[in-house]
């Protein structure tokens, strides 16, 4: 059994993907060829925003937004303590300070009460200027943007939606990637919508921001390629990856997102009576980047993981360590925020195999082995 079966997906889409890749090879436009702009248009339409600007990966997408906002030394950026490293890395990379905020125990997303406490603390401390919140749609579930945007307005902060794991999710029919002042996603192969290498994108309704990001991703270009008006990056999505994504976006819309929800719902139905299964609040829709159980404690979690591994069921621990405890952030100013939920979750979580091509038989096999080893 595969944790995320990318080969099964390729098999299902092979003729169309091969044809799409070969079209690029035949035209020879390997950098920013037509499929890139066609994909950007399709993605913007899907998400329901004015602009989609693709780039080399999800980490660069975050960096491009922070660069465009002029984030740098002396700025405080609030991020969840329970996320993938890149969310905080990009902040330190720009010379700003990531301020870690605890997450909600049931949604795994940033705790908005603790967010406000953290902002007040930074203001009282007075050494940093609060500038932005990076909210993460962890494991596919959108963060609580109604509350986050309220807090952002109160303290005059920008909101960046890190939807690397959230593409396809929704809140009351509004798609992930459309929240905040800007949003980003990743097309890393194992993300909800993945390509066959690295890729990423920025989404925004702001014309000026979209133009700036197009400049920053291409060596800070001005009117044309050899007119350079700012220090930027080389961060473009390859035409071949765009060609792959065009085919995969169609499959994602037509059945993959529905199928991954079918798998997640089946897991919940079979597991909810004896283990804590992931919650999806009323009005929310998840794209299920991960299906994450919360076990009683570290001993039970590790025992279960070992038992499942023995029968060939791969599982993952996302994430074993809070951001605030990463050595890479040891030099950053810490504010003694209450991060107790993240600390607990890191010892309790276990992600199960999940992808649109998982069969009912496989789901039942996983659930039976969980029940056999838990009770
Ligand atoms: C994967 C991920 C990223 C980074 O995306 P890459 O394409 O791997 O650079 C950023 N944030 C979160 C939450 C992620 O899961």
Residue nearest to atom 7 of ligand 1 (CA): 58
Instruction: Over range 122-147, report the average pLDDT.
Output: 98
Contacts of 88 (CB under 8 A, 6+ apart): 79, 98, 100, 323, 326, 329
Q: Which atom of ligand 1 is nearest the CA belonging to 59?
A: 9
| pLDDT tier, 375 (very low <50, low <70, confident <90, very high otherwise) | low
Instruction: Over range 21-32, report the average pLDDT.
Output: 96
Q: What is the pLDDT of residue 225?
A: 87
What is the 84 CA–ligand 1 centroid distance (Å)?
A: 7
Question: How far is it, in rounded angstroms, from Cα 179 to Cα 8?
Answer: 32
Instruction: Over range 106-120, report the average pLDDT.
Output: 98
Is residue 152 over pLDDT 90?
yes
Q: Which atom of ligand 1 is nearest the CA belonging to 191?
A: 1
| pLDDT tier, 374 (very low <50, low <70, confident <90, very high otherwise) | confident
CB distance 164 to ligand 1 below 6 Å: yes
Tell me the pLDDT of the chain averaged across its residues: 97
Question: How far is it, in rounded angstroms, from Cα 224 to Cα 168?
Answer: 34
By C-alpha distance, which of 371, 374, 348 is closest to 295? 348
Q: Which atom of ligand 1 is nearest the CA belonging to 186?
A: 7
Q: Using most ligand atoms within 8 A of CB, pick from 186, 190, 233, 235 the residue to mutate for ligand 1.
A: 186
Instruction: Over range 206-224, report the average pLDDT.
Output: 97
Contact between 253 and 353 (Cβ < 8 Å):
no
How many percent of the chain have pLDDT more than 70?
Answer: 100
Contact between 249 and 43 (Cβ < 8 Å):
yes
What is the 86 CA–ligand 1 centroid distance (Å)?
A: 6
């Amino acid at each position: 059994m595969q944790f995320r079966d990318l080969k099964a997906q390729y098999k299902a889409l092979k003729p169309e993907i091969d044809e799409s890749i070969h079209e690029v090879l035949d035209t020879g436009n390997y950098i920013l060829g037509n499929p890139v702009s066609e994909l950007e248009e399709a993605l913007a339409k899907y998400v329901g925003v004015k602009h989609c600007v693709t780039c080399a990966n999800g980490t660069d997408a975050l960096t491009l937004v922070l660069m465009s906002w002029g984030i740098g030394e002396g700025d405080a950026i609030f991020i969840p303590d329970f996320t993938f490293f890149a969310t905080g890395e990009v902040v330190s990379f720009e010379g700003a300070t990531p301020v870690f905020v605890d997450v909600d125990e049931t949604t795994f997303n940033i705790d908005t009460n603790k967010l406000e406490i953290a902002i007040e603390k930074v203001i009282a401390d007075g050494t940093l200027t609060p500038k932005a919140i990076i909210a993460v749609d962890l494991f596919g579930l959108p963060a609580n943007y109604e509350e986050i945007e309220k807090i952002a307005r109160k303290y005059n902060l920008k909101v960046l939606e890190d939807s690397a794991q959230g593409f396809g999710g929704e809140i009351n029919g509004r798609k992930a990637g459309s929240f905040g002042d800007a949003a980003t996603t990743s097309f890393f192969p194992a993300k909800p919508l993945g390509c066959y290498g690295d890729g990423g994108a920025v989404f925004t309704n702001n014309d000026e921001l979209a133009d700036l990001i197009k400049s920053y991703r291409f060596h800070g270009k001005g009117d044309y390629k050899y007119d350079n008006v700012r220090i930027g990056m080389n961060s473009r999505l390859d035409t071949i990856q765009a060609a792959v994504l065009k085919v995969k976006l169609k499959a994602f819309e037509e059945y993959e997102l529905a199928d991954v929800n079918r798998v997640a719902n089946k897991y919940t139905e079979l597991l909810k009576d004896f283990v804590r299964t992931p919650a999806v609040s009323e009005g929310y829709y998840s794209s299920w980047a991960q299906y994450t159980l919360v076990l009683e404690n570290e001993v039970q979690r590790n025992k279960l993981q070992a038992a499942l591994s023995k029968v060939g069921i791969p599982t993952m621990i996302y994430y074993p360590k809070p951001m605030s405890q990463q050595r890479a952030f040891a030099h950053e100013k810490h504010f003694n925020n209450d991060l107790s939920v993240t600390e607990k979750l890191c010892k309790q979580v276990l992600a199960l195999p999940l992808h649109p091509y998982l069969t009912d038989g496989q789901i039942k096999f996983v659930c039976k082995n969980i029940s056999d080893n838990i009770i």
